[in-house]
Structure formats: structure tokens, C-alpha cells
Structure 1
Amino acid sequence: MGAGFLMLCHTAFDRAAQVARHWAERGCPVVIHVDARVRDRGFKRLQRLLEGVPDVRFCERHACEWGTWGLVGATISAAEVMLREFPQASHVYLASGSCLPLRPVEEMVRYLEERPETDFIESVTTEDVGWTVGGLDIERFTLLFPFSWRKRRKLFDQFVRLQRRIGYSRRIPQGLVPHLGSQWWCLTRKTLQAILEDPRRAEYDGYFRRVWIPDESYFQTLARLHSRHVESRSLTLSKFDFQGKPHIFYDDHHQLLRRSDCFVARKIWPQANRLYRVFLSEGPGVQPEAEPNPTKIDRLFSKATERRTRGRPGLYMQSRFPRTGWEGALTAAPYSVFAGFSELFENFEPWLGKLAGSRVHGHLFAPDRVEFAGGEAIYDGALSASPAIRDYNPRSFVTNLIWNCRGERQCFQFGPRDRQQIVEFIASDRNAQISVISGAWAVPLFRSGQDAASCRSEAARLQKIEGQALDVLRASWVKARVRIWTLADFVESPMEPLQTIVEEITPRALRPMTEAPRLVDMTGFGRFLQDLRNQGMQPTLMGDFSATGDGAPAHSRRARPYLVK
């Protein structure tokens, strides 16, 4: 009684020979298949490396292109040699040339001897599979696939669409229920022999030759016909990423591989010298015998997949940056944007910084300069105050600022006089808290001392720009937390909205705000707006102000902002 190994090899022959020698010298016969696409020089080198090793055989070679029948044909040829020449093999274990044993051979043999009629092969129906990649589940069994998916993908896709359009469907052989699963299995001699000697094998082989990726379905389906007890799992640790590509294990995965308790792992980097040295050593296993359980490390792989696809909030990486939607959260931490506040209040930035304990910048997107807090020319993370550098990539400018200042709330001013390329970005960022006093841009025009005739064209320009920005902030797709007040509503009762803003910035603050920043003198502002109307410009974003000239709103109701979520 014992176990025999089938090895499918196509590269890294020195490592494959090292593993094959390890198994064969411990009483486990090995049959090796070498891809027919490998040059004879490589094949003969592998034969020389294993020359004189007992119980090692080579089988007929097949061209093994991914997703085609060649891999199944190679496995069948190797299995036939195993069954014919090694009658002592009670179980047959399929492995690849990049596999590595993780536990002593004696433990594996003992484990299999205790389960003489159990077949370890992942085998689930197509309805229950959630890991298929490529958009084909049951269709892989009902359509034809004469073209290589890797080499002639355009033809592959076109032929699939053609078959769908004309309603073509292959007949599944009677009595077969298609199953899918990992290619790496361990079958009993009895089950494997029954599959290879099945009277309908010619029919089954002809059918599976036209199935897509048959190495994941041929034995997985036929084992259900002949096995007395299927344990639907693999004894091999084989992990795949979100794109269906196998994870490669390196030297620093040593402890991770031990934790899996699996007997074999795939796929090992050929240069992982430490892994090969440790796991192929002569010493006894230092781990207690345990049930193979690769799910013990699934949590780590899930976190790795999430980190690779989503990354850390606000950190852009080469693997995701070119593809919209792969960046995860747009920025690394919450931040606040204020539009109209510095125009309406005197010394608003130092007041807010002192009250909220945040870093408050001026207009970061002013056309002629970047107004960092404190007037800095170079900010955290070597961010330059150069407007040319900022405007080269405004989005990256914001994300770098927030990333470099993690742990400290960032606030900055914004308005229609600033560069507007950033509006859609901050509107789509769930970390942004945007507070807007619409029409506040008119206050600096009023205080400039210019008459309405001189300010009319500039006022019309700024109103148009702000109107477009407000349309964006009111859109249904906006993810930022947006609050908008008209200037008249805000001036009527500024304490309530200011308190709301400060509480959102510092939610742990227990004391109510007792001091507000000083409003600029707006005496005559209503008259100024009326003069703009008289000049032919219609102010629409400020709300209702009295034309008497005292700067007071034309109504007395309390300010009620609306929240755009």
C-alpha cells in the first residue's frame, strides 16, 4: 500500500527533479509527463537528473496548451503508466513540476491508508461554483471551442457569440452531470482504473475534447460516476487571485504554508531556495499531524486580494491607477471644503483652525498661487505651492495633500475664482465635506469700491461658474456630504450652520460654539445687488436682500440649509 505521484512538467526541471527524487526515494513511485512543446534538450536534461532514481518513469508526451484537452491527455497517459507498472500504489496523486511537499511523505501515506476508499477531488456542479473566470459556466459544456483562448482570443470570443446567436448547444452524454473543480486531485487506484476502463470512455473523451478547460471537469465529472466516497476538496494548497491566476509562493511564505497543513503546495517560485531546503529536508515534521485545511489561511488571501484591488484609501498604485473604479476611496481621510466663508468672514481661516484644531488652508486652487496654511512654499510630502505643478494633475494634488497629512483634518477654501477642474472629483469623494454659501463671491466685488457698471461682467462670469459648480454638487451621483446655503439665509442666522460644520469636523467636542468669526460690513450690499440688476445683470444665487442698502436679508425666517447626500 502506498501513494504514487503523477507530475506534469514544462519548466524548472531542476526543481521538478528534486521533488520527484524526494518522493521516489521514500517509496512513492513517480510518473513524469513533460510538455511536448518543451525542446528535447530540456527533456533529456530532466531524464539525466533522475537517472538511476528508483521507481521514476516517463510517459508519452502531449502538447499541453492551457484550456485544451492536452492536459487531460497527459494525465491519462501518466495514469496508465502508473497503474500498469506500480501495482503497490493504492492512491494516485496528481501534481505539477512546481509543486512542493509540505509534510513528511510518511504522514501523507498514513493519512491515505486510513481512508482507503476516499477520493480527494474538488467536484461541484456549475450552479454551485462562484470562482469561474471568463463568463462561461454551463456553456463550457454545451458550446464548441476550436480556437485557443490565449492565442486567438478574438476568434474565440467571436465563435462563442456566433453559437449563442444561432442557438447552438451540444448534447451532454446521457448520465453525465457536469462538475467542476481544482485540477489537482488524489484518487484511489480503484476509481482511477474505473475511469480509464469505462466502456463509454471513447464517448466521454470525444465529448470532453471540445469542452473548455477540460482538466477542471473531466476527472471531476467522471469521479462522480465511479467513486464510492468523494471528499470534495483538494489535498494540495492552490490559491488563485481575483483574475483567476495562481498565487506564487516565495520564501517569505514559509510560515503561511505550514499553517495550511496541506500535504502539497502549488505554485512555488523556482528560486525559493529556503522553501525547497526546509520542506525537502530529511528531518521529521515539526508540526503535529493535522487535517489538511487550506481554509485556515483564506482570510489572509482575501485581505491580500482586497489590498491589491482596492488598496488603501487615498493611495494610488500602478496596478489600479490606470483603471477608473479600482482606486477604492478617492482620498485617505475626511477633509472639509468651504466656499464663500473667507469672503464673508474676517480671518476665517485662523478662527476655524483654533476652534476645530484643524489645518486650515486658504484658496489652494487660486489661479496665481497655492495658499497653503502659514503661507508655506513647500508643504508636507514636498508638495509645491507652484500653481503650474498643481494644475498638471489637480486630483493627485488633493490626494497627495490628504495622504501626506493623515491624522490631521485638512480644510481649504474654494470659490468660482479658483480653478474648477477639481469640482467633480471632490463631489464624488465620500471623504469630502463641502459647505457652500452661494453668492458670497459678490461680497468682495461689493467691498472693492467699484460701481456696479464696472463689476457687471465679472459678476456675471462668477455667477455662471458657481451655478455650474452647484449643478455638479446637486447631482444624484454625488458622494460627498454637501451643505448649501444662500448668502441671505446664512447671514440671517450664521451661528447654527457654523455650529453644525464645527461639530462635523470635531464630533467629540462637547462644548457648544460661543464665539463666531466677525462678519464683514455689508451695509449697502442690497443696494449693490439692485445696481447690478439695473445694469442688466440678474443676481440669482444670493437669495433675497433688501434694496434699502442696509445689507439685511429681505425676509426674517431662520436659515435652513439643505443637505445633498
Structure 2
Amino acid sequence: MARIAFILLTHKDPQGVIDQARRLTASGDFVSIHYDKSAPTEDFRMIREALAGNPSVVFARRRLKCGWGEWSLVAATLEALRAAERQFPQATHFYMLSGDCMPIKSAEYTHDFLDADDCDYIESFDFFRSDWIKTGIKEERLIYRHWFNERNQKGLFYASMKLQRRLGLSRQVPEGLQIMIGSQWWCLRRQTIEAVLQLIEEWPALVRFFRTTWIPDETFFQTLVAHVVPKTQLRSRTLTFLLFTDYGMPVTFHNDHFDLLLRQNFLFARKISAEAQELRHKLGMTWQETGQEFPISAEGPRLYYFLTGRGRIGRRFAPRFWETDGSLGRSRVVHLIVAKKWHVAKRLSERIRATTAIPAVDFVFNEQEAALPDMGGIASTVAKRERHRRALIKLLFEQFETTNLVLCLDPSALNLISDFAADRAETRILFVETEFDDTYLRGHTRRIGLANDTTPPELFERLLPAVKGDLDHEAERLRDMEFDNFETIAADRAIERNAAALARFLDLSPEMAQDLAAIPNLFD
């Protein structure tokens, strides 16, 4: 059975550290503690005395003052890791934790999970090819030497980097080493830890290189593990559930997040608020449970970003897409079918292609297959279409050799619709009014990743009103814009009324419009 040596990096809350160590060792596992030297000495003394009689706890031989983004974090991890590797030969796995981490599964579940697959869990993405780094400097982290902390020595940090750039003092990555990047929260097997520690001893240049890189805790172990472990034995993921805000700060979990945390496909979570004593107690009790099943819904990230993405007053708006001086041309007409139920819009566009001379494409900015003509590389992926949206629309007019074009859009793309309406080309809008019953809303939450088949019914009950409110609000905003040439059709209207709206929308004869309005099962 798996036995885990937890590498616990902490700098505050001594009682929380004591409780964490007692809880983890009570399940037959081990704990190696590094308590930041910057913390009060009396706090560390309190921890040492409280855990002195616990044979499953060991302390790092040296305490270091740690700074965010500095080598000191890796050095502290290595101190605790070496102590654990020496002290606990029974340990089969080594799991990196912080004082803000708590288990979200039982010890029984955790041990069974690790026993089920002989592998290492560590995020490991190519440093240069991946887009893991979203903001800030990238290759400068490696090719320049960093002696100052960007957070509290910003002036010196950037002045040093600028001087090195001017003097041509960039350096190469150690030969034979592919730099990888990922989260610092990992779980590694004993043989992997032994291989990494041996590599460090045999290759001193590694430590010299990483000692002056920026944020080495995101590259050091990730690189070395990938160097000594076959890819088939690596799982490029962390077993610790964590989210980040729009500002790049870790999301903090509170008392009302208990049920959410247990449903995520992870073993631990951070950061748990120090004030969330009820949550900490319940998670601590969960660790001790036996025979408990944990249905996994894994909706946490999407649910969080859905709720926070609604903004301070409930809404946020996407960036504009047209350049301010761009135009499709006065002689052109854009016909927009705006529908939340995409299948209705696509039935209409398919019929328009079959029975009229007006070219019609589907949801080109949402789906790969959108009834597009062959346009070369610009339309090969949805991402490319997003990057070249204005060029794409112009090319569609030219490709079809037409002055009229039908597009399908989702009502959430209100800024996009507004920009079409503001263009010198004529824009006509056909809004497909729809009702959303609970069955549709449940399916919608699954399609957008807010829930799945294992999501508890009570979460659905809380989610559905918010989701329905968002969908209704999209429709209200669209109507409130009072666009010119705005038509609507609906399932509860007579075919003749829908046909009249379609005739105005597309400049069709009554007979052709009637044919469109009478599409079998159009609104099903």
C-alpha cells in the first residue's frame, strides 16, 4: 500500500501546522516540515515541542528565509525532501504541500488512487513551446541571471535584466536539458525522488543554473523529473486542486465550498482560508473516513469562472472585434440569425442554402464545421477565425461573389452584433425567441461544462435560476439595443407571422418565406 511522505512548506499558523501533521501521520503517513526562518522563533518552537514525540514527523535540517519567485523556495523544498528521504525509507510517494492545503478525499481513497497507477504526478510542459506562462517575462526567466526579487526590488530586478541585455550577457540552457514548466505542487514516487537527488549530486551545474533563474519552483523539479522519468510514467497534472483569479492570485476557499471541493478530481486543495475553521474541521474528518465514495463531477473550474465572469454588477462584456476604421462596404448586406438554440438557426441556414440564392454559413466563430467554403489557412481552425474575423467576413463575401451573406450568431455575442449594426454595410437581424425549460437548462449547463451527470441535484437547483437569468438577460439586452431591421420569429407564433418576418429579413417572396417558416420541426 502507498505510504506518503508529505513535504510541508509553511510560514505561518503554527497550530494549523501541528493539526495538519497530526492528521496526516494518523493515517500511517509521514510529514517533513520546513518552517520559514522569517517566521517568529516562538512559533517554530511551539511546533517542535508539540510534535517532538511523533516518530512520523521530521524537520528540515536547515531553515531558510524564503521569498516568492526565488531559489530559496526550491532550496527549502530540497531540505525537507532530503530529510524525508533519509528518515522514512517506508515512504513510497512524496507529496508537496503548503500550510494552506487540506485533503479533499479520505486517506483510504488517496492511497488506493496512488496504488492504482505506477506513475508520477507533476505538471510538465515545454517551457518555450507551451503557453503555460500567460503574462510577464518568459525566456528572460532563464537566459538572464536574477539576484533581485521582482516583488520587493522591482527597480533593481528590471535594471539588472536591462543591463545584462545591453551587455549581451544572456546565457544558454545547460546542454542536454529540456526546460519544462508547471505547478509546484507535485506527487512523486520514491525512485523518482532518489533519481532527482542523485542527478543533482552528479550535475552541479544544474543547481548553479536554476539558482539564478526567476521562479525556479515552476521549472526545477518539472525539468529534472522529465529528464529522469520516461514519458509513459508521467502524468502531467497536479493532484492539488487550485484556481487563480483574473489577477493571478490563488483563489481562497471558505466554509461553503465543502461539497464543491469533494466533487473535484483531486486529492488536496489550496488555498483553504485560515478563518474557515468549519471547512478545515470537515475536511480533516473526511481524511479519516473509511468506505466513503466520492462521486466526481469536476465542474469546479468552469463553475468558478462562470460565476466570477458575471462581474461586479452581474455582467461582463467581451472586447470589440471590428477595427474602428474598418467596413464591409455600403453595398453589402449582412443577415444575422441570432439564436441561443443553435440547432434552430442551423436548420434555417441549411434551408436558406437549399432554396434561395443567398449564401449562408453557420456558427463560424464557435464551431469548426460551419458550412464554410474552402478558404485556405485562415478558416482552418476556430482560433484562426477569431484572430482574423474581419478578414474572414470580407473573404466570405468575395468567395461567394455575393452582396448578401447569412451568418449565425449566439445572443451572448452582443458586442459583435452591435459592431455589425454600426458598420456601413446594411445589417439585418433575425432573433429566434425561445423558452428555456429545466430540461434544456440542465443540458445547457452540461454543454458549457458547469455540470455533468454526477452533479448533485441540489447544485442543479441552485445553478438553474442563475443560468436561466443569464439567458433571459441576453435576450433582453438584444431587444433593448433597438436595432434597425430587427425581426423575430418564435415557436408559439403562426407560420404566417414567422413567414412575414423571414420575408422582410431576406427580401424573399411570400411563397419562399412560407417555405422557410414551415420547415418541419423547426423549433424542436
Do they fold alike, i.e. is TM over 0.5? yes
User: In 2 relative to 1, CA 124–290 (structure 1 residues): closer, same or farther, beyond 3 Å?
Assistant: farther
Partner of 1:344: none
Partner of 2:81: 79
Larger Rg: 1
Partner of 2:222: 220
Note if 1:307 corresponds to 2:310: yes
Q: Map 1:77-226; keep pairs closer than 5 Å.
A: 77-116=79-118, 118-198=119-199, 199-226=201-228
Amino acid at match of 2:126: T
Q: After the TM superposition, which of the residue ranges 239-248 and 129-138 deviates more from structure 2?
A: 129-138
* SS of 1:197 mapped into structure 2: helix
Q: Please say if residues 101 and 279 of structure 1, whose CA atoms lie closer than 8 Å, have aligned partners that are also in contact.
A: yes
Distance 2:416 2:172 in 1: 54
Partner of 2:264: 260
Q: CA deviation at 1:290?
A: 6.6
Q: Please say if residues 430 and 481 of structure 1, whose CA atoms lie closer than 8 Å, have aligned partners that are also in contact.
A: no
* SS of 1:248 mapped into structure 2: coil
Q: Please say if residues 17 and 49 of structure 1, whose CA atoms lie closer than 8 Å, have aligned partners that are also in contact.
A: yes
Q: TM-score, normalised by structure 1?
A: 0.55
Amino acid at match of 1:104: S
Partner of 1:65: 67
Question: Structure 1 residue aligned with 2:239, among 225, 235, 242?
Answer: 235
Q: Please say if residues 24 and 54 of structure 1, whose CA atoms lie closer than 8 Å, have aligned partners that are also in contact.
A: no
Partner of 2:20: 19
Distance 1:11 1:268 in 2: 13
Partner of 1:251: 255
Amino acid at match of 1:97: G
Q: CA deviation at 1:274?
A: 1.8
User: In 2 relative to 1, CA 274–161 (structure 1 residues): closer, same or farther, beyond 3 Å?
Assistant: same
User: In 2 relative to 1, CA 242–280 (structure 1 residues): closer, same or farther, beyond 3 Å?
Assistant: same
User: In 2 relative to 1, CA 78–430 (structure 1 residues): closer, same or farther, beyond 3 Å?
Assistant: closer
Q: Please say if residues 246 and 267 of structure 1, whose CA atoms lie closer than 8 Å, have aligned partners that are also in contact.
A: yes
Q: CA deviation at 1:50?
A: 2.6
Distance 1:4 1:122 in 2: 19
Q: 1:502-540, CA deviations, whole angstroms, 9 ceiling, x for partnerless residues? A: 88497449699xxxxxxxxxxxxxxxxxxxxxxxxxxxx
Q: Please say if residues 61 and 74 of structure 1, whose CA atoms lie closer than 8 Å, have aligned partners that are also in contact.
A: yes
Q: Please say if residues 120 and 186 of structure 1, whose CA atoms lie closer than 8 Å, have aligned partners that are also in contact.
A: yes
User: In 2 relative to 1, CA 133–149 (structure 1 residues): closer, same or farther, beyond 3 Å?
Assistant: farther
Q: Map 1:261-300; keep pairs closer than 5 Å.
A: 261-281=265-285, 284=289, 288=293, 296-300=299-303
Q: Map 1:348-363; keep pairs closer than 5 Å.
A: none
User: In 2 relative to 1, CA 313–101 (structure 1 residues): closer, same or farther, beyond 3 Å?
Assistant: closer
User: In 2 relative to 1, CA 179–287 (structure 1 residues): closer, same or farther, beyond 3 Å?
Assistant: same
Distance 1:431 1:178 in 2: 40
Distance 2:194 2:310 in 1: 45
Q: Please say if residues 5 and 95 of structure 1, whose CA atoms lie closer than 8 Å, have aligned partners that are also in contact.
A: yes
Number of residues of Structure 1 aligned to a counterpart in Structure 2 = 339
Distance 1:503 1:268 in 2: 48
Distance 1:71 1:502 in 2: 57
Q: CA deviation at 1:48?
A: 3.1
Identity value in percent: 33
Distance 2:483 2:109 in 1: 63
* SS of 1:260 mapped into structure 2: coil
Amino acid at match of 1:249: F
Distance 2:55 2:313 in 1: 50
Q: Please say if residues 7 and 77 of structure 2, whose CA atoms lie closer than 8 Å, have aligned partners that are also in contact.
A: yes
Distance 1:4 1:163 in 2: 41
Distance 2:265 2:196 in 1: 29
Q: Please say if residues 12 and 98 of structure 1, whose CA atoms lie closer than 8 Å, have aligned partners that are also in contact.
A: no
Q: Please say if residues 313 and 328 of structure 1, whose CA atoms lie closer than 8 Å, have aligned partners that are also in contact.
A: no
Distance 1:329 1:171 in 2: 39
Distance 1:236 1:128 in 2: 24
Distance 1:502 1:244 in 2: 38
Partner of 1:455: none
* SS of 1:176 mapped into structure 2: coil
Q: 1:336-363, CA deviations, whole angstroms, 9 ceiling, x for partnerless residues? A: xxxxxxxxxxxxxxxxxxxxxxxxxxxx
Q: CA deviation at 1:25?
A: 1.2
User: In 2 relative to 1, CA 130–300 (structure 1 residues): closer, same or farther, beyond 3 Å?
Assistant: farther
* SS of 1:173 mapped into structure 2: coil
* SS of 2:33 mapped into structure 1: strand
User: In 2 relative to 1, CA 481–260 (structure 1 residues): closer, same or farther, beyond 3 Å?
Assistant: same
Distance 2:154 2:49 in 1: 38
User: In 2 relative to 1, CA 249–129 (structure 1 residues): closer, same or farther, beyond 3 Å?
Assistant: farther
Amino acid at match of 1:102: I
* SS of 1:95 mapped into structure 2: strand
Q: 1:459-478, CA deviations, whole angstroms, 9 ceiling, x for partnerless residues? A: xxxxxxxxxxxxxxxxxxx8
User: In 2 relative to 1, CA 262–287 (structure 1 residues): closer, same or farther, beyond 3 Å?
Assistant: farther
Q: 1:420-444, CA deviations, whole angstroms, 9 ceiling, x for partnerless residues? A: xxxxxxxxx96999xxxxxxxxxxx
Q: Map 1:403-414; keep pairs closer than 5 Å.
A: none
Unaligned runs of 5+ in 2: 321-413, 425-480, 490-496, 501-524
Q: Please say if residues 133 and 243 of structure 1, whose CA atoms lie closer than 8 Å, have aligned partners that are also in contact.
A: no
Q: Map 1:165-564; keep pairs closer than 5 Å.
A: 165-198=166-199, 199-228=201-230, 229-281=233-285, 284=289, 288=293, 296-308=299-311, 312-313=314-315, 481=422, 504=484, 507-508=487-488
Amino acid at match of 2:63: R
Distance 1:303 1:160 in 2: 38
* SS of 2:309 mapped into structure 1: helix
Distance 2:177 2:416 in 1: 53
Q: Please say if residues 141 and 178 of structure 1, whose CA atoms lie closer than 8 Å, have aligned partners that are also in contact.
A: no
Q: CA deviation at 1:311?
A: 6.1
Q: CA deviation at 1:18?
A: 1.2
Q: CA deviation at 1:289?
A: 5.1
Superposition RMSD in Å: 3.2
User: In 2 relative to 1, CA 250–128 (structure 1 residues): closer, same or farther, beyond 3 Å?
Assistant: farther
Q: Please say if residues 262 and 294 of structure 2, whose CA atoms lie closer than 8 Å, have aligned partners that are also in contact.
A: no
Partner of 2:434: none
Distance 1:176 1:193 in 2: 19
Q: Please say if residues 258 and 283 of structure 2, whose CA atoms lie closer than 8 Å, have aligned partners that are also in contact.
A: no
Distance 1:134 1:431 in 2: 26
Distance 1:212 1:147 in 2: 9
